Amino acid sequence: MARQPLVARRAEELLGTAVVATSPVAGGDIATATRLRLSSGQTALMKTLPHAPEGFFEAEAEGLRWLSEVEGGVPVPEVLAAASDCVVLAWVEQSSKTPVEAAVAFGQQLATTHAAGADGWGLDHDGFIGRLPLPNKTADSWPEFYAVRRVLPYLKLARDRGAITEPDAAAVEAVIGRLSGLLPEETPARLHGDLWNGNCLWGQDLAIHVIDPAAHGGHREVDLAMLHLFGLTHLPRVMAAYDEAYPLAEGWEERLGIHQLFPLLVHACMFGGGYGARAGAVAARYA
């Protein structure tokens, strides 16, 4: 590991300890990731982004801390420092192994995190999903929150960017009008909010650690829908362990598509491609 002076100096200012060496980390889609070796012997991850949106890294740090409050919940990296231009996290040493035991434990831990609950639908501050703003202003019900804060803002943006056709957009709007009758009533769960497999790190400690949350209080089927949308190794075992620890309402598998509309529209806004068409096709199933 060499030493990148500017990155090392910023980390030292925030951590109050010397950075012995740094090395780039591949794979970040948004921020630049750097591995730090500290004089204390600890290894850390520093994420930086020039001209980051206001509150970008602070929201990530607050989300990780909120999830970490749950005893026995999903493992998250410790937040070592956060500022407007960066966040520094404890390093998670990843493994190429994906043992079933870790998947089962993850299902139980995710159930525990969800069951810890939230104060309401939403959060007391806005956040981000990727680089897009994520409105979190609270609402009186989950159908209202999901419609107004999760689906409609990204449906509008997808339309503005030409990422969804009018027939597909109309199919999504038709589902939004029926949410109250489609979704079971539950108390707000403590959600990761962006729980796709890229944000699940299989650690050498034989645990699955979650990163990059878009945390808020919401319906727990949101996290589960995203896991199913993008896949996760041993997902059936994860779900069996989850359902045993915190039983799901009947018909949850048939409702997954409803809560997949949000990530599909976000992806349409960010990447275009066929995500708008997929959102329309999923919505059409609930016509």
Measured CA to CA, the distance from residue 178 to residue 11 in angstroms comes to 49
Pairing of strands 79-83, 86-90: antiparallel
Measured CA to CA, the distance from residue 91 to residue 77 in angstroms comes to 7
Report yes or no: 102 and 92 within 8 Å, Cβ to Cβ: no
Task: Specify whether 85 is catalytic.
Answer: no
SS3 207: coil
Alpha-helical (H) ranges within 70-183 are 100-116, 142-145, 152-160, 166-176, 179-182
Catalytic position from the list 194, 205, 223, 243: 194
Pairing of strands 200-202, 127-129: unpaired
> What is the torsional sign of CA 264, 267, 269, 271?
negative
Measured CA to CA, the distance from residue 152 to residue 211 in angstroms comes to 26
For 269, the token pair is: 């806004």
So which residues are the catalytic ones?
194
